[in-house]
């Protein structure tokens, strides 16, 4: 009888046994989970680093802008000084000439290195936006002769003066007649010496700039002086 009671007890365990087995025992009931929230001290440190980094980034950007601005300013100033020097006696006006042209008194002059006849020289100057030089004053004549002497390409330069339309009536390429007070022929010139007619004027190298021009055949090939108006800019 006692064995039957024990077997019966095993077949029908009491609810207290199951409740005792299934009851969680503190933290042993499952895996331990960590709190995802970082400690307050770590968050504070991240915030303290973020602000100086932002200030440093801003300073770097400002420094980069300053470097770029100075570079642009220097490049612009160099270009202006090279092609647009300050007008004599002025601190605000600049006189601009194309590259390889020489500036004098509000005009730009080009001294060629190649040779052409007078008609081709006239057309070439026109194609560059100018014309064969028109000499209007003693100061301009002196400047041109001195500048021509400094060149190494040629010793004779065509100027924009011809009597090809009416013999003996000398006119500039723009049609204006030669001013009697601003003509600088060499002694005995123009003489129309050649039987084919010497209808074009040029400047040869001479010691006296006011005793300079010579007439010659227009088909001869010389270097040339082109002229255009300088561009004036205000800064």
For 186-207, the pLDDT digits (tens) are: 999 999 988 888 999 999 988 8
Whether residue 62 is predicted with pLDDT greater than 90 in this model: the reply is no
pLDDT tens digits for range 152-180: 777 899 999 999 999 999 999 999 999 99
| Residue 182 within any structural domain of the chain | yes
| Residue 12 within any structural domain of the chain | no
> Mean pLDDT across the stretch 101-115?
95
| Residue 127 within any structural domain of the chain | yes
209 vs 119: CA distance, rounded Å: 25
> Mean pLDDT across the stretch 69-81?
55
* pLDDT value of residue 155: 86
The domain of 132 spans 99-234
| Residue 80 within any structural domain of the chain | no
225 vs 218: CA distance, rounded Å: 15
CATH label of the domain that carries residue 134 = 3.10.100.10
Lowest mean pLDDT among 52-56, 130-134, 207-211: 52-56
214 closest CA partner among 177, 187, 195, 180? 187
Burial (CB < 10 A; 0-12, 13-18, 19+), residue 120, is: middle
| Residue 161 within any structural domain of the chain | yes
| Residue 81 within any structural domain of the chain | no
* pLDDT value of residue 42: 59
- Computed over its alpha carbons, how large is the radius of gyration of the chain? 48
Report how many domains make up the chain.
1
| Residue 31 within any structural domain of the chain | no
State the pTM of this model: 0.67
pLDDT tens digits for range 127-153: 999 999 999 999 999 999 999 888 877
| Residue 34 within any structural domain of the chain | no
58 vs 60: CA distance, rounded Å: 5
Asked if 111 contacts 147 with a C-beta cutoff of 8 angstroms, the reply is yes
59 compared with 21, residue with greater pLDDT: 59
């Amino acid at each position: 009888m006692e064995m039957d009671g024990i077997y019966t007890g095993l077949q029908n365990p009491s609810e207290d046994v199951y409740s005792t087995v299934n009851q969680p025992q503190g933290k042993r009931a499952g895996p331990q989970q960590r709190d995802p929230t970082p400690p307050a001290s770590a968050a504070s440190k991240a915030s303290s680093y973020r602000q100086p980094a932002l200030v440093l980034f801003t300073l770097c950007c400002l420094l980069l802008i300053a470097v770029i601005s100075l570079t642009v300013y220097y490049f612009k100033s160099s270009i202006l000084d090279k092609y647009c020097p300050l007008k004599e006696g002025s601190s605000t006006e600049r006189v601009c000439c194309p590259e390889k042209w020489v500036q004098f008194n509000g005009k730009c002059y080009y001294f060629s290195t190649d040779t052409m006849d007078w008609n081709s020289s006239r057309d070439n100057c026109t194609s560059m936006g100018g014309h064969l030089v028109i000499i209007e004053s003693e100061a301009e004549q002196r400047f041109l002769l001195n500048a021509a002497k400094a060149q190494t390409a040629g010793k004779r330069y065509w100027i924009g003066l011809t009597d090809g339309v009416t013999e003996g009536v000398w006119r500039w390429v723009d049609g204006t007649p030669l001013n009697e007070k601003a003509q600088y022929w060499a002694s005995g010139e123009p003489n129309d010496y050649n039987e084919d007619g010497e209808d074009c004027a040029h400047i040869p190298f001479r010691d006296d700039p006011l005793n300079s021009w010579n007439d010659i055949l227009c088909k001869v090939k010389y270097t040339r002086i082109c002229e255009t108006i300088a561009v004036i800019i205000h800064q």
